[in-house]
Amino acid sequence: MKASDTLVALGLQFVGLSLVAFGGANAVIPEIHRQAVDVHHWMTDQDFAALFAIAQAAPGPNFLVTTLVGWKAAGLAGALVATAAMCGPSCVLTFWVAKAWDRYRHTNWRAALGAGLAPVTVGFVFSSAFVLARAADTGWRLAIVTGSSAALAYFTKFNPLWFLMAAGALGVAGIVR
């Protein structure tokens, strides 16, 4: 595939995802994974898990995995195209809707929209977790790390960065692999 073709594919993929990413980037991880690993073969399952981990460990919004997918697929230009495509359409939509929001905020259909989208979105975020865990957990010890980090993040208020650092350290020490 030519470099420009890859950029076009990246752009089209993320422009589309931008407008269906209800619940943010975490909800569309399965689709990003499907496109990047299964359809376009930009990376392996393990690359995807690693890039997602890097995006989580870095400061900033969690959609940055799209920037990294773009980077892996087509270098710096890919990173910029993927970022712009993921944010552009939803930002323009948000800008215009925000202006009209005050008129509609208390209407019945606005509440129904939010209430109806929420469970579907949650199902997608669970799907993201499933796709990521399947890519990351290549052994039972890693599955225990995933389970522990899920439990700690759910039941405690510690900054999740600590879990990431601890898990990275376990990896370097050769305890999980």
Partner 1 sequence: MTKTPTTWELFVAFFIVAISGFGGTLPFARRMLVDRRQWLTPEDFTETLSLCQTLPGPNIVNMSIVIGSRMRGWRGSIAGFLGLVGAPVIIVTTLGALYSLWGNLPQVRAALVGLGAAASGLVIATAARMAEPLLRNRPRAAAPFMLTGFAAVALLRLPLPYVLLTLAPISIGLSWWLRSRERARV
3 lies in the binding site for partner 1 (CB under 8 A): no
| 1/20 with CB nearer partner 1 | 20
Rounded Cα distance, 77 and 75, in Å: 6
Rounded Cα distance, 171 and 168, in Å: 5
| Residues 44-73, mask of contacts with partner 1 (x by CB under 8 A) | --xx-xxxxxxxxxxxxxxxx--xx--xx-
Radius of gyration of the chain (CA): 18
| 1/96 with CB nearer partner 1 | 96
18 lies in the binding site for partner 1 (CB under 8 A): yes
How many residues of this chain interact with partner 1, rule: CB under 8 A?
A: 112
12 lies in the binding site for partner 1 (CB under 8 A): no
**Contact 55/64 with Cβ under 8 angstroms?**
yes
Phi, psi of 28 (to 5 degrees): -110, 10
41 lies in the binding site for partner 1 (CB under 8 A): no
Q: Tally Cβ neighbours within 10 Å of residue 124.
A: 20
102-121: which residues touch partner 1 (CB under 8 A)? 105, 108-121
